[in-house]
Amino acid sequence: MLKQFVRTENYTRFTAGIQAVEQRGAAEAGMMLVHGAPGFGKSHIVYHWAIEAGAVFLRANVDWTPKYFLVELAKELRIDPRGTAQQLFGRLLEHVVETQAPLVIDEAEFTLHQNAAVLEKIRDLSDRAEVTVVLIGMERIQQNIARHKQINSRIAQVVEFKPATLSDVTHACAQLAEVRLTPELVGEVHRLSGGRMREVLNIIAAIERVAKVNELTEVGMADVSGVPLSYDWQAHTPRMVATGRQTGRASRATAQVAGGR
């Protein structure tokens, strides 16, 4: 599978939100919230943007404290992490004010422990440096942050990541797959994935294994009939394309694809 970045509709909504935050009227309202179900590409898309924008990308930990966060940020920025929390905050603030580098916090739910003490520190840094801060979290994070009025008032934009559309999956298959997928099979990739881009990538990889076994340059529905392309962990059953009779070609590939999972 090719290594390329696919610009999905979630990416378009995210970048529009970033632009709105950067053009905000109130300087202190520089926070943006990205939320959605697992597998919709939140971390992947925001990480790609962070690299392009020169942003600092941190993943929150369950045991983060305000000082722990400051130390992690200092290490990422290659700043001396020693001293008191106040001394460290001062060094970080000076650096962020000078560079104006945006800050991304993934798994931001972990910043809400102990009455959102860590997120309050992040808000303080954002307020004083007037930099953009992107928080990434799961579906319920918005209502959890809403309980903290001082923080909630700083969020200028909220972007909800939604399931990938058929158009998104079509672009992903065209850009990433090293073999051609027929339109019917692309539609099945979309259906089987449930719109989760993480699952789309796994299914493409499974299809490519079938293509390699059978030396195919184009893969259609019949070629993967009966082949487990995905797995339903709740029902404990494999997911396959919605076709009838399994072909001999797909039968030969089934064992190898299953073994390569």
Distance (Å, whole) CA 70 – CA 80: 11
pLDDT tens-place string over residues 16-73: 999 999 888 677 778 999 999 999 999 999 999 999 999 999 999 999 999 999 999 9
Rounded mean pLDDT, 94-114: 96
Q: Where are the beta strands (DSSP E) in the chain?
A: 31-35, 56-59, 103-106, 133-137, 155-160, 180-181, 218-219, 230-232, 237-239
CA 142 to chain centre: 17
pLDDT band at 234 (very low <50, low <70, confident <90, very high): confident
Q: Give the pLDDT score at 245.
A: 42
pLDDT tens-place string over residues 114-151: 999 999 999 999 999 999 999 999 999 999 999 999 99
Is 223 in contact with 213 (CB distance < 8 Å)?
Answer: no
Q: Give the pLDDT score at 229.
A: 95
Distance (Å, whole) CA 44 – CA 251: 35
pTM of the model: 0.87
3-class secondary-structure state, position 88:
helix
Closest C-alpha among 29, 47, 51, 245 to residue 158: 29
232 pLDDT higher than 90: no
Q: Centre a 10 Å sphere on the Cβ of residue 174 and count the other Cβ atoms it contains.
A: 12
Residues in the chain: 261
Rounded mean pLDDT, 166-182: 98
Closest C-alpha among 16, 24, 14 to residue 104: 14
Q: Give the pLDDT score at 244.
A: 53
pLDDT band at 231 (very low <50, low <70, confident <90, very high): confident
Distance (Å, whole) CA 41 – CA 38: 8
Is 122 in contact with 69 (CB distance < 8 Å)?
Answer: yes
pLDDT band at 251 (very low <50, low <70, confident <90, very high): very low
Residues linked to residue 159 through DSSP beta bridges, in sequence order: 34
